[in-house]
Amino acid sequence: MPSAPRETKLWQEAIGLAGDVIRVVRRATRRETKAFTDALMLSATAVASAVAEAPTRANPSDERDCYARARRALVAVETQLAIARVSAIIPSSVHAQLAARVASLSQRVTN
Q: Which residues, including other chains, have CB under 8 Å from residue 22's CB and lie 6 or more apart?
A: 41, 44, 45
Is residue 5 over pLDDT 60? no
Is residue 1 over pLDDT 80? no
CA distance 34 to 28: 9
- pLDDT over 70 for what percent of the chain? 94
The DSSP H or E segment spanning 34 is helix 34-53
pLDDT for the residue 2: 47
| 3-state secondary structure (DSSP) of residue 1 | coil
> Sorting pLDDT into bands at 50, 70 and 90, what band is 90?
very high
**What are 63-77's pLDDT values in tens digits?**
999 999 999 999 999
